[in-house]
Amino acid sequence: MANLQTLATLVGGELQGDPDVNIHQVAPIDQAQQGDITFVANPKYLAQLDKCHASAVLLAPGVAPPEGVNLIICANPYLAFAKILTLLQVPEPPSRGIMTGAVIADSADLAESVTVHPGCVVGERVKIGTGTILYPGVVLYDDVTIGANCLIHANAVVREGCRLHDRVILQPAAIIGSDGFGFAPDGNSYYKIPQVGIVVLEDDVEIGSGSCVDRAALGETRIGRGTKLDNLVQIGHNVKVGEDCILVAQIGVAGSSTIGRHCTFGGQSAVAGHLEIGDNVMIGARGGAANNVASNQVLSGAPLMPHKEWLRSTMVFPKLPEMRKDLKQMKKRLEEIESLLKES
């Protein structure tokens, strides 16, 4: 619980109303009751405020609210919602130490405040920083380094030599450092190329459930600070992803490609191998990069094209059968005219 003045200070907002009103939780606008705070980030929901029973509302500047409502005015209500939700409803897990049923190698170096749940396996020479939590079933191979305040959820695996910096989150069943997909042709068969590099996840990276970040063949695969991978994302060996990128579910990035800073890729999009994607690139869902992409573009489709052109193209696609029929008729008519001209 916190009062409105505390919440306004937390989000850097302007309080309009009673600073001593206590808030217990964040709630959706259509379910909020007394003691709740809600938010309006999309203007289409403003009409619902008339029937809302929340004790306070987060709003953007310039929005006209109903009379008698406690407000926190902030430039980014959605960000403010996230910060308040974290404060009020996300408890900080206590440190529980190494619990019975965890298997820890004698040479592992774990900070005193680390929590290791039953079923975890921690290999030789592993180093784990202050405040990190390993949930049940986590496996850390030999020589892994984990920074401070990381959350490694159930059944995640970090293979040998990989490095996670501070505040990294691995969702359940994320795999860090699996072998890159490398095979040399040998006649009719294939010879496995040893993948002897590592993976580096920088500060504040989050990897979604079931996602795989492959280790490098040589050197490292690196995910930049603040980048977030959704569930079921595949990052190939020796890929470099820049800072503050968002990669949505079912994306595939093939080996040795480089992605710049602050890029956003929609679901099921893909990047072919050995490409360079610039900074501030947005690729729509199911878009496919087959060539290098310059910075500061919004693209969609496969092959990629500017998003506005792709929108116009999608309007044509349903008409293609009819257009094909018209073209056949035009071709037939043209042949008839050419025949008449020859006869004359």
Catalytic residue among 117, 153, 237, 262: 237
Give CA–CA dist 200/214, Å, rounded: 10
237 annotated active-site: yes
Tokens of 251: 């994306």
236-268 b/e (C-beta count within 10 Å ≥ 16 → b): bbbbbbbbebbbbbbbbbbbbbbbbbbbbbbbe
Q: Which of 174, 151, 157 is nearest to 122 (CA)?
A: 157
Give CA–CA dist 26/107, Å, rounded: 45
- Cα angle 260, 266, 269 (rounded to 5 degrees) comes to 85
Tokens of 130: 């202050």
Q: In angstroms, what is the C-alpha Rg of the chain?
A: 27
CB count in 10 Å sphere of residue 212? 20
Give CA–CA dist 79/148, Å, rounded: 24
Give CA–CA dist 200/145, Å, rounded: 10
**How distant, in Å, are the alpha carbons of 102, 195, 255 from that of 190?**
39, 15, 18
- Residues with catalytic roles: 237
